[in-house]
Amino acid sequence: KHKNFKSTKNKVWCAGLPHSGSTLMEEIFELLPYVRLDQSFLRYFSKFNITHLHGISNESFLCFPNDKFSFLKTHSHFEQEFIEFAKDCDISIIVCLRDLRDMMLSRYWHIMSNKNHQAHLIVKDLPFKEGFIKTLLLPNEENFYSDKPINDYFLWIKNWLLEEKKGNIKLFWYEDYIRNPIKYLDDIKEFIEFKNIDSSFLEEKLEEKRIKYMQTPLEKRLFNKSRSKSTYRSGRVGEWKKHFDDDIIKIINDNIDGKIEEITRNQ
């Protein structure tokens, strides 16, 4: 069916902040005439020359076919060479973001549910406040900018926001989807030139998936395979306000290389 569409955005890479709606973005593209570059027998994907767990390489981008709609999602931090690789391969870049405080809270629930996470055994039996603070500060070997997760993700967001000002990427905030899913879908379709697809139909299919997901506990869904895997939770906006006290807010502010206002969108 892809031959019926005239979009020039046939190569799309999404660099998603974890717990920011990047899985949602995958599901949207799977409802459109796109094929996952790294998870389909219809495509070939190379990890050659990827030097970081969440990195990307020119060899990976060269796997995008020129004449077929393809989509790739990673949790990649910003590096200038990634942008140059994408430009050379004529790839459109989407970046999914979310309020850092809600994102870190979502990450905490994920750690509590995921027995394989390196921090699970450390925090699983602790009271919320003590356990949550540990997840902010415990060194993480998968980090790129900082050994403290809270600062690593702060810089993750900050650097992508700086790149957006250069006009090289398109940002999509998870909060926008929660507040107005149809407009969020319209904005995606406009960016990838698929305006003739009904956003209400897309949202209906997404809601069907969410209902199905919620029938299975998160700790079980995390270990499903491929498309059956989901990290979906309630995804409320501003949930951090119900859980954070002055101590938590101070610890966050004291352990980031900047001010939270630098990466907080005007809500």
Q: What is the pLDDT of residues 26-37, one digit of tens each?
A: 999 999 999 999
User: Tokens 């767990």 appear where?
Assistant: 53
Helix or strand holding residue 28 (H, E) = helix 22-31
Q: What are phi and psi of 35, to 5 degrees?
A: -120, 135
The residues near 248 (Cβ < 8 Å, ≥ 6 apart) are 129, 132, 133
Burial class (CB in 10 A: 0-12, 13-18, 19+), 10: buried
Residue-wise pLDDT for 83-135, tens only, equals: 999 999 999 999 999 999 999 999 999 999 999 999 999 999 999 999 999 99
Q: Which residues pair with 35 in a beta bridge?
A: 70
Burial class (CB in 10 A: 0-12, 13-18, 19+), 261: exposed
Confidence label for 231 from pLDDT (cuts 50, 70 and 90) = low
Q: Which residues pair with 13 in a beta bridge?
A: 72, 93
Confidence label for 225 from pLDDT (cuts 50, 70 and 90) = low
Higher-confidence residue of 226 and 36: namely 36
DSSP state of 78: P
Kindly report the average pLDDT of the chain as a whole number: 91
Q: Contact at 8 Å (CB) between 15 and 74? A: yes
Quote the pLDDT of residue 141: 81
Confidence label for 229 from pLDDT (cuts 50, 70 and 90) = very low
Q: What is the pTM of this model?
A: 0.90
Take residue 215 and report the two structure tokens written for it: 């029938």
Residue-wise pLDDT for 156-189, tens only, equals: 999 999 999 999 999 999 999 999 999 999 999 9
Burial class (CB in 10 A: 0-12, 13-18, 19+), 250: exposed
Quote the pLDDT of residue 140: 87
